[in-house]
Structure 1
Amino acid sequence: MTLTNKDLDIKITNAEFERFRDFFYRKTGIRFEDSKRYFVDKRLVDRVKKTGAHSFRDYFTAMRFQASGAELQELINIMTVNETYFFREAHQFDCMVEELLDEIVTTQQKKELKIWSIPSSTGEEPYSIAIYLMERWPSIERVDIELMSSDIDSSVLEKAKAGIFNERSVQNLGPSLKKKYFTKTEHGLYQATDDLRSCVHFSKVNLNEQKDMQKYRDIDLIFCRNVLIYFDDVSRRNAAEALYDALAPGGFIFLGHSESMSRISSLFKVRKFKEALAYQKPIA
């Protein structure tokens, strides 16, 4: 009888786990703590079996030297967490339309603004931004907005572009907004309208890759929420510097409620608005 790799009991040694953890950290800036070992091992073993490799060592070697990088992208997709919903931490959206954008337009006399949501996850955040702008910001009629959203995970980007959401994702939207910006599918899901989906340009970006980040400059407002908590101190500082370079002078960044730029970098000025805290790149 011939055994296939699906019949093999794939084990990952401590040394192999360390090698993978270091490799994944170098590629993404994300470091897995020991407490995540079961989570990581389970997903790695699954990929070993699905690719037909007979050991983790064979799989790891093939993955690292694969010219296309497709298997590394598969790993990134299954190892990153994508949990979100519409109007999450809505006080920051309130701040955006009630104070922050008006300040930028008034003080800098801008007629065009760039807003960037990273990570995009499955699209709830960038589409929330678009809805807020169209519903709550009067100046949308006279200011052009370029709304971009990026993620390291290619699979969630495809979901974001498709714009199909379950009931939990849209639970914070009132009936009128659901009716205006979504159509109900035959499976009871919510499909974002063509007009809403056309508001956002999606792209794959790794915060830890300099060549990715160099493409983004002169951004007026960045939403970078609940991602830096997965980085270690070095990666957080590198990401903060990359985000600083991406901002236009006088531009702002929002972080997640448990994150603090003040503990990461001294480059930014802390700004306390009525609804939320933001971090500003000083105007030279």
Structure 2
Amino acid sequence: MNARRLLQDATGLNITEADAQRAMRERMAQLGMADSHAYLRALAGSELSALTELVVVPESWLFRDPGAFSAATDFVQRRLALHPARPLRILSLPCASGEEPYSMAMALDMAGVAPPSVRIDAIDLSQVSVRRAIAGHYTRNAFRGADLAFRERYFMEQGGGYQLCDAIRARVGVRQGNLFELDTAALAGSYDIVFCRNLLIYFDDLAAHAAAKILHTLLADDGLLFAGYAEVPALCRHGFAALRIRGAFALEKAAPDPKRLAPPLRRAQAVRSVVPAQAEPQEAFFRAARHAPAPAAAQLDDALAQAWRRADGGDFAGAAALCHTLLATDPSSADAYFILGIVSECQGQVAAAADYWRRCVYLRPGHYEALCHLALLARQSGDAQVAEAYQERAARIYARRQTQGGAE
């Protein structure tokens, strides 16, 4: 068992080998150890927790994505107006150093919502982050944006930073915890609002599937889930439906829709596709393909649905064959290229996956899911500028769908 596998088993995070080795070298240097084998033999309990801290890198700030807090506050006020005697519960997971749950607490306070009406639970895997959240002390980096009136109202300059007032801190209960270790039976349907933003993007397909099921269990049937923009497609494949709320990526529970994309594919276990890779098409082909006549919609939907079913069952070769057959008759099928990208990623062929997704967005520039995947790949490869460009495109498309109600 290596460090990467131990960290993945402990956290569910999709950690790269490079990140695991970097963290292990850093931790060994802190301990004055030189023998990696000896370190791995001792990697358990508190030492595993210490190593985990080096791969969990929280990045947040107060009132990040303010539209989400505005939408959540509106939801709370409407719910309390209908059921004033029923307290609401909000969960923030991961809560990082408390920026998100405290922002929610301040938003509720500014809206005049009394503390007993809403309970906010904040949970994070990192013990260091939890200690910081409980302390409620923030540096200047936690305050971004033009409107910082809340800082004057709720914070006091102290120790080279800003200390959050006791009244807001008292509205939030902070503790260390792991999403996969929560008592879902006891907490089923407990939360009216769940903030789980930018967590699933660090999981592999199976872990993301398991996480979505847990979130579905925790959320009340009439509750709201706030997620990161790149997580919306995965959540929509697991019992959630996106809502049109300006400035926020919000979802609600919904019955699974067979017309939606299939559940996340299982990781390939030494599976090798028998379908030869397509030759690199020329720009002229793409320009023609974007305007090529397509077969009947029902026929296309059936072929794509079959491809998803085969891929989800682990038949990656069969899924790829169906997609290539479809592309032979309809070279403009962006969805076929998208599925080929998913299949390639599951087989560990990251470069091929990126190529297929680039073809997908060339044919359909507004393909939200492909843009999200390209953004994640770019970030994993360290190309922050490209990742940001894809993220911005995806965010614009999502916002347009919210306001227009149509696909690109």
**TM superposition score normalised by structure 1:** 0.81
Task: Confirm or deny: 8 A CA contact 2:124 2:130 kept in the other structure.
Answer: yes
Are 1:123 and 2:135 an aligned pair? no
Task: Confirm or deny: 8 A CA contact 2:124 2:177 kept in the other structure.
Answer: yes
- State the alpha-carbon separation in 2 of the partners of residues 182 and 55 from structure 1: 47
1:237-258: CA deviation from partner (whole Å, max 9, x where unpaired): 1011111111122111100122
How far residue 271 of structure 1 moved from its aligned partner, in angstroms, is 2.2
How far residue 166 of structure 1 moved from its aligned partner, in angstroms, is 1.1
Are 1:94 and 2:77 an aligned pair? no
Q: Can you give the 5+ residue segments of structure 2 that lack an aligned partner in the other structure?
A: 256-408
Are 1:209 and 2:172 an aligned pair? no
Give the number of the structure whose residues are more often helix, by fraction: 2
Shift of the 57–186 alpha-carbon distance from structure 1 to 2, 3 Å rule, reads closer
Could you tell me which amino acid in structure 2 is paired with residue 216 of structure 1? L
Shift of the 168–79 alpha-carbon distance from structure 1 to 2, 3 Å rule, reads same
Counterpart pick for 1:161 among 121, 130, 134 = 134
How far residue 265 of structure 1 moved from its aligned partner, in angstroms, is 3.3
Task: Confirm or deny: 8 A CA contact 1:250 1:282 kept in the other structure.
Answer: no
Residue 208 of structure 1 aligns to a residue in which SS?
helix
Q: Which residue number corresponds to residue 382 of structure 2?
A: none
1:32-83: CA deviation from partner (whole Å, max 9, x where unpaired): 235xx1x43232112223335441111111123xxxx111111111111111
Are 1:144 and 2:117 an aligned pair? yes
How far residue 186 of structure 1 moved from its aligned partner, in angstroms, is 4.1
Task: Confirm or deny: 8 A CA contact 2:92 2:100 kept in the other structure.
Answer: yes
- State the alpha-carbon separation in 2 of the partners of residues 274 and 263 from structure 1: 19
How far residue 182 of structure 1 moved from its aligned partner, in angstroms, is 0.6
Task: Confirm or deny: 8 A CA contact 1:112 1:144 kept in the other structure.
Answer: yes
Counterpart pick for 2:54 among 78, 83, 103 = 78
How far residue 276 of structure 1 moved from its aligned partner, in angstroms, is 2.9
How far residue 215 of structure 1 moved from its aligned partner, in angstroms, is 5.4
Task: Confirm or deny: 8 A CA contact 2:236 2:242 kept in the other structure.
Answer: no
Residue 260 of structure 1 aligns to a residue in which SS?
helix
How far residue 85 of structure 1 moved from its aligned partner, in angstroms, is 0.6
Counterpart pick for 2:86 among 111, 114, 125 = 111
Shift of the 168–148 alpha-carbon distance from structure 1 to 2, 3 Å rule, reads same
Task: Confirm or deny: 8 A CA contact 2:197 2:228 kept in the other structure.
Answer: yes
Residue 142 of structure 2 aligns to a residue in which SS?
coil
Mean CA deviation greater in 19-28 or 80-89: 19-28
Task: Confirm or deny: 8 A CA contact 1:208 1:235 kept in the other structure.
Answer: no
How far residue 175 of structure 1 moved from its aligned partner, in angstroms, is 5.0
Are 1:266 and 2:238 an aligned pair? yes
- State the alpha-carbon separation in 2 of the partners of residues 77 and 84 from structure 1: 16
- State the alpha-carbon separation in 2 of the partners of residues 242 and 263 from structure 1: 11
Q: Which residue number corresponds to residue 48 of structure 1?
A: 28
The structure that has the greater radius of gyration is 2
Q: Can you give the 5+ residue segments of structure 1 that lack an aligned partner in the other structure?
A: 1-15
Aligned length: 254
Identity %: 26
- State the alpha-carbon separation in 2 of the partners of residues 52 and 163 from structure 1: 33
How far residue 210 of structure 1 moved from its aligned partner, in angstroms, is 4.9
Could you tell me which amino acid in structure 1 is paired with residue 14 of structure 2? R
How far residue 226 of structure 1 moved from its aligned partner, in angstroms, is 0.8
- State the alpha-carbon separation in 2 of the partners of residues 267 and 109 from structure 1: 29
Shift of the 46–143 alpha-carbon distance from structure 1 to 2, 3 Å rule, reads closer
Are 1:241 and 2:197 an aligned pair? no
Task: Confirm or deny: 8 A CA contact 1:86 1:124 kept in the other structure.
Answer: yes
Q: Which residue number corresponds to residue 356 of structure 2?
A: none
Q: Which residue number corresponds to residue 57 of structure 1?
A: 37
Shift of the 127–157 alpha-carbon distance from structure 1 to 2, 3 Å rule, reads same
Could you tell me which amino acid in structure 1 is paired with residue 9 of structure 2? R
Could you tell me which amino acid in structure 2 is paired with residue 126 of structure 1? P
